[in-house]
Amino acid sequence: MAEVLRPEMLDISNDTSSLASPELLHVLAVDDSMVDRKFIERLLRVSSCKVTVVDSATRALQYLGLDGENSSVGFEDLKINLIMTDYSMPGMTGYELLKKIKESSAFREIPVVIMSSENILPRIDRCLEEGAEDFLLKPVKLADVKRLRDSLMKAEERAFKNIMHKRELEANDIYSQLKRAKI
C-alpha cells in the first residue's frame, strides 16, 4: 500500500523571506534623456533593485517582445516587477507605452509608473485612469523609489502567500480524495 502524505507532511513552505528580498525586484526604466536614465538607474540600484534601462518606448516594447518581433531576452526568462517610464518621449509617449502594456495579456499585471517634469493634472488623471500605478514628478526622489519598492515587495509577498494558500487547499483536497479512495 502506498503511503499517503498528509498535507502538513508535504513540503509547503510559508517562508516568504527570499521572495521579499529587494534584489529580486527588476525594474525596466524607460527615458529618452540619458541624464534622467542614469539618475533613475542610480536611484533604483541604491534601493537594491535590478535595473534594465532603455532609451525609448519602442525599445521597451522590443525588450518585452511586444513589438511583433523577437524580444531581446527569452520570454520565459523575463521577470519584470515594475516599469518606470518618462511621459514625454519622441515617437511614442509613456502614456502610449502604458496603454500597450495594459493591452498585453502577458504584462498587464506589471505596475507601470509614469514620470514627468510637467505637473499637468489632466495628463496625470488620464495615466492613472488608464492603469498607471503612480505618477511621479521629476526629479524623482529616493523616497519615491523606496516607497514603490516597499509597496511592490508587499504585493509580491501577498501574491506568494495567496499561491501558497491555494496549494495548501489543493493538497488538502487531494489528501481527502485519496483518503476516501482508501489508497
Q: What's the rounded mean pLDDT across residues 10-14?
A: 39
What is the mean pLDDT of the segment spanning 135-160?
A: 83
What is the arithmetic mean of pLDDT over 157-167? 76
Q: Quick check: is 168 in a domain?
A: no
- Specify if 49 maps to a domain: yes
Tell me, yes or no, whether 40 lies in a domain. Answer: yes
Residue 112's pLDDT is: 95
pLDDT at residue 77 in the model: 58
pLDDT digits (tens, 9 = 90+) for 109-135: 899 999 999 999 999 999 999 999 999
Q: Which residue has the higher pLDDT, 55 or 159?
A: 55
Tally of structural domains, the chain: 1
- Of 90, 21, 25, 84, give the one whose Cα is nearest residue 58: 90
- Look at residue 161 and tell me whether its pLDDT is greater than 90: no
Domain annotation covers residue 10: no
Specify the pLDDT at position 12.
39
Task: Please report the pLDDT score of residue 24 as a whole number.
Answer: 65
Q: Domain containing 107 — which CATH number?
A: 3.40.50.2300
Whether the pLDDT of residue 13 is over 50: the answer is: no
Report whether pLDDT(98) > 90: yes
pLDDT given for residue 67 in this prediction: 80
* pLDDT for 41: 93
Residue 21 domain flag: no
Whether residue 163 is contained in a domain is answered as: no
Edge-to-edge order in the sheet of strand 112-116? 50-54, 26-30, 82-86, 112-116, 134-137
User: What range defines the domain where residue 142 resides?
Assistant: 26-154
pLDDT of residue 9: 41
- Whether residue 107 lies inside any domain: the answer is yes
Tell whether 88 is covered by a domain: yes
Q: Which residues lie closer than 8 Å to 141 by C-beta, 6 or more apart?
A: 43
